[in-house]
Structure 1
Amino acid sequence: MEQDNIEQYILTHIDEEGELLRNLNRDAHVNLLRPRMISGHLQGRLLKMFCRIVQPKYILEIGTYTAYATLCLAEGAADNAEIHTIEVNDELEDFIMKHLHKSKLKDKIHLHIGDAIQIIPTIDCIFDLVFIDANKRHYCEYYDLIFDKVRSGGLIIADNTLWDGKVLETPHPTDKQTIGIQAFNDMLEKDNRVEKVILPIRDGLTLIWKK
């Protein structure tokens, strides 16, 4: 209960998420199967703040879902920023576009529908910021694909890296998502090309700075 009170205190003392994101959140909870996958108010404000600090010109998001996080990244990025966001589930395209079309930031955002592993090599950009929030089985593959496409001094953010605490457990052999997150965390620990820290926010948020 105390943790819930702390979270509520935080939410009442940070910037509001705004009407568009509130409506998107409500729409997702009514119409989508797994609305808790949305980044949400606190994480959304964090993503905006990271963009304010880093001032990225080119941003890549792997895993659009509802475009909640996408819009938060767009809020914090400069007017001339370019955001490429990839969503594998084509059934979400109508939901995504419905809300993007309502945003004055939509011209910054380029939506790609399809498999990120196939799409990433086709995007001709060196990215300043990458947000990974897609299939946990493939986090290591995403990381390997984007690493050379991130500038030195660029920021990579990976979501769900504590995975409801399952990273502390021995996963069942069929639990490929937990296995994928554990493998990603173990790989990062040994990667001396980067500096990294895990923030225990929501489901775990790892910040990775490329040397």
Structure 2
Amino acid sequence: MTDAIEEYILSHIDDEGDLLRNLNRDAHVNLLRPRMLSGHLQGRLLKMFCRMVQPKRILEIGTYTGYATLCLAEGADDDAEIHTLEVNDELEDFIMKHLHKSKLEDKIHLHVGDALDIIPTLNGVFDLVFIDANKRHYCQYYDLIFDKVKSGGLIIADNTLWDGKVLEIPHHTDKQTIGIQEFNDKIAKDDRVEKVILPIRDGLTLIWKK
């Protein structure tokens, strides 16, 4: 997608609002990898998915700045709850600073720690899961959450085109690319779900549990 096309798209969709715009700016000034942030287009898409699915319980694996978290919260009903997992405890202050500025804060429950340890402790069923964490562990995340997703639930996985590296033969030390390739292959073969990859930003896979 060219810069001109992206600008055209952004000028013809809903505004992200001051809170998310300021969060984005804060991330670019103060964080090392601001590109990891979901951003305006993907954020509006996540909100729209919530409008359509109307999930009551959402699980986000990989909070980072909380940008996507807030977008999910915007689209979810008032009585919905969002559990978001972040492994980097140094990001907690940044995340909470912006959550505290939002009227949606009460919907959101931040869990700090390794998702592989936290997910087994979460009880109940989720209607929507957003995976955007360590690419090495995507297959493990999927296996851990699958039985916790209701039939008819939606799983969304980010970065599944991985800058086009999915088309390459990765070096054996490139565990992130290998992890994404293995995940994509696993989903393609899983007949328990319907799936489609959207070529938006770095690839977004929609997985619907039958």
TM-score by length of 1: 0.99
Q: SS state of the match for residue 137, structure 1?
A: helix
Offset, 1:125: 2.0
Distance 2:36 2:184 in 1: 20
Q: SS state of the match for residue 111, structure 1?
A: strand
Distance 2:41 2:110 in 1: 24
- Of 2-11 and 171-180, more deviation after overlay is shown by 2-11
Offset, 1:23: 0.3
Q: Deviations over 1:102-157 (max 9, x none)?
A: 00000000000000010001111200000000000000000000000000000000
Q: Runs in 1 of length 4+ with deviation above 4 angstroms?
A: none
Identity of aligned residues (%): 85
Offset, 1:3: 1.5
Q: SS state of the match for residue 196, structure 1?
A: strand
Give the alignment of 1:104-183 within 5 angstroms. Answer: 104-183=103-182
Distance 2:189 2:30 in 1: 41
- 5+ unaligned residues in a row in structure 1: which ranges? none
- 5+ unaligned residues in a row in structure 2: which ranges? none
| Equivalent residues, number | 210
Distance 1:36 1:103 in 2: 22
Counterpart AA for 2:168? E
Distance 1:99 1:5 in 2: 30
Distance 2:143 2:64 in 1: 22
TM-score by length of 2: 0.99
Distance 1:94 1:8 in 2: 32
Q: Supply the RMSD in Å over aligned alpha carbons.
A: 0.6
**Equivalent residue number for residue 184 of structure 1:** 183
Distance 2:95 2:28 in 1: 14
Offset, 1:31: 0.2
**Equivalent residue number for residue 24 of structure 1:** 23
Distance 2:103 2:120 in 1: 29
Q: Deviations over 1:155-208 (max 9, x none)?
A: 000000000000000000000000000000000010000000000000000000
Counterpart AA for 1:43? Q
Offset, 1:51: 0.1
Q: SS state of the match for residue 207, structure 1?
A: strand
Distance 2:130 2:60 in 1: 5
